[in-house]
Structures are given as C-alpha cells and as structure tokens.
Structure 1
C-alpha cells in the first residue's frame, strides 16, 4: 500500500528511492483584483499516474492540499483544470469561477476554481468567483 507523504520541494528524496503515484504543487502568488492585493496559494500539477487512477489517490492528495491550505496565511487558493474535472474538485470544496481568467491580456481556456481561506477573501467571494481575474501566468 502506498504511503502518502508531504515534502517541501527542497526536501524531496532522491528520485532513485521513491516513485510518485500522485502529486500536487503549491505556489504563492499575489493577485491584484478589484483594487486589492490577495495572497493566493496556487495549486498546480495535480496528477495521478495512469495505473493508479480511480483508486482514490488523487482525492487523498487534494485532501492533503486542502489541509495545508486551511492552515496557511493565504487569502484564497486557486487552481486551473479542464471543465470535466469540476465535479472532482467541487466535491473537495472548490468553487468554479464563471468569471474566467485573463493571462497576459488573453482569456485563459481552463476552468478556474477557488477556495476562500481568509475573512477578507470570503467577504469578496462574489467578485473573486464571478468576475474575470487577471493573472500574470497560469501556474
């Protein structure tokens, strides 16, 4: 049975001593939206190796990410995914953002989903979820 472990990037074990079957990365970005700077923890590169899909490993990784986010000092968390993954992330507490995302002045085709973490992000949730958010790059 695989073991679920969390590592800081600098603490990853040697590639010769382990095999990742599911993975996610977190990166902190600052996003200026509707006149306010928000600390956003971007979730990226969520994946499960093909032979292990459908066995709950991706769900476990997202649950671990959510636990980490819930104890962070970020205002919100955001991720980008294909529209068919919306039910997967929604089941884990993520909300779709129909307002879309603009990356370097171009509308980004991937679905943005968010979790509001701080009181000020929760107060601004309607704007954060429903209006277009400008980001410098899509992590």
Structure 2
C-alpha cells in the first residue's frame, strides 16, 4: 500500500507526506494546523509547507475557525472538487479489493475486519507510546 500511495501522490504532484495529511484532513477535518501536526506526528513548521502545497494545488482551504475563541485561529478543510481524481487513481486497487472480498463469506469478512481493527488500534497505541501522547 505504501508503494501504491507513493505512486498516487506522484501522479497528482504531491509528496507522500502531503497525501498522508490530505487523508487525515479528509477523515478528521476540519482540523486546526496544530491538531493536524499532532495527528501526523509532524513539526508545525513542516506542516506549514505541506499545507501551502496542498492549498496551491487546490486540495484544501484554510479558513477562520468560527468555533475558536481566538479570532486568528484557522481550520483546514479538504475540498471535494478533486476527489474524483483520487478515486480514479485508486480504482484499480478498489476493484481488486472488491474481487478479493467477494471470495469470503460474511463471517470471514467480520473476522478479517476485526483483525484489521485490532492491528490498527495496536499500531495507534504503539505510536502514542513512542510520542508520549
């Protein structure tokens, strides 16, 4: 998957870490830049360059956060206009996943989903241990 994501990011003119941040914004956004930096495990100064690239390329927008007490606070939001480009690039993998999943019955799929959820949680816990969060 890392190699596929690398190819996708290069196809759309982004760095791998840019695509990772775009994914986090899409899943958890809108987010403040500091919240995104924490989720991505990046230094805020590094994140500024990533957000600049994503905004120039039309993937995100930075806007004033209406829920923040500080009027200077901003939120980063993904723009859906370019999602079809990502769907197209991932369509081959999505079709393959559909074919693979069709070979399993409902019980087996639940078992696989449980396993993947538990592995993901273990990875998140290990990451939190390393970062002290």
TM-score (norm 1): 0.28
Rg larger in 1 or in 2?
2
Q: Which has the higher helix share?
A: 2
Q: Which has the higher strand share?
A: 1
TM-score (norm 2): 0.29
Higher relative contact order (CA 8 A, sep 6+): 1
